[in-house]
Amino acid sequence: MTAPLVTVFGSLHYDIMVEAPDRPRKGETVTGHAWQPKCGGKGGNQAVSAARAGVRSAMIGAVGDDDFGRALVGNLARRGVDSRFVRVAPGAGSGMSVAIFDAGGDYGAVIVSGSNLTLGENDIVAATEMVAQTAVLLLQNEVPEAANIAAARAVKAHGGRVVLNAAPARKLSGELIALTDIVIVNAIEAEFLAGVAVVDTLEGAAEAARMLIDFYPAAIVTAGGEGVAYCGRDGQAFERAALPVKVVSTHGAGDEFVGAFAAGLARGHRVEAALAAANAAAALLVATPERQREAI
């Protein structure tokens, strides 16, 4: 039998990561002490995470005809991700971001989407054979919604499952919601989508997940160092505390969680087992310095 496949349809960004004592306020200049480049984008990160979890992982995306784009595609290949359907978009620069990390390991970031905004139904058609083999499709909100809808529709037609990491938060159409099997959001995104005031505890995450199943068949709400909550329309609901680790950097933790969770689903694991594996993968990542993460 063919090994299960996780296909990620989404964003690729070349990240510039800056380390500083704190993140600047409006109008403020802060003196940093180090910077480094990193290949990312929520889509790229999640594809790498799924591959690291040991399943077949493929990426459908777009980069510019530039050094950033070549680095992004090369990184996917090195990390075991099938990048045959990452297209070079003529006349568009590759997506990129700048992330500023404070002394506590938290960060703020600005993204420039670039070539990611050129993704559309033609990219799905070009990858028809891969789409037909997909067990789990991962989507995010860093590409046009119409493109996400086309990808979800195609994968569902072949019996695959659709997991939407609704990040960054934005209003979603009823059509995309109807195509989504599981939505995954962090505390900030849960506040936006569920309309709750603050999600800063595990109990708050569980309440937000319960509210989200009014729209989605199942919802996962991550609450950072507090843990994760799950709720499904089938009546299953539970919370899991985060694993206790010394946090070095939270950058990419959500994407690591999502990719590892999708890998578990693709293997046919129950949701609870897939979440446990995702929790462990995210804990390992946040405890690992950025310069050592490729060795995980």
Residue of 82, 123, 181, 255 marked active site: 255
Residue 222 marked ligand-binding = yes
Nearest-angstrom CA–CA distance, 201 and 75? 36
Nearest-angstrom CA–CA distance, 208 and 168? 17
Active-site residue flag, 255: yes
Residue 251 marked ligand-binding = yes
Residue 287 marked ligand-binding = yes
Residue 64 marked ligand-binding = no
Residue 43 marked ligand-binding = yes
User: Measuring CA to CA, which residue among 131, 116, 107 is closest to residue 58?
Assistant: 131
Residue 285 marked ligand-binding = yes
CA distance to 92, 117, 186, 256, 266, per residue, from 136 (Å): 29, 23, 20, 16, 6
> What's the one-letter identity of residue 80?
G
Residue 31 marked ligand-binding = no
Residue 224 marked ligand-binding = yes
Nearest-angstrom CA–CA distance, 276 and 281? 9
Residue 123 marked ligand-binding = no
The burial class, CB within 10 Å (0-12 / 13-18 / 19+), for 164 is buried
Catalytic sites, residue numbers: 255
- Binding-site residues for K(+) sit at 251, 285, 287
- Binding-site residues sit at 13-15, 41-45, 142, 186, 222-227, 251, 254-255, 279, 285, 287
- Binding-site residues for ATP sit at 186, 222-227, 254-255, 279
- Binding-site residues for substrate sit at 13-15, 41-45, 142, 255
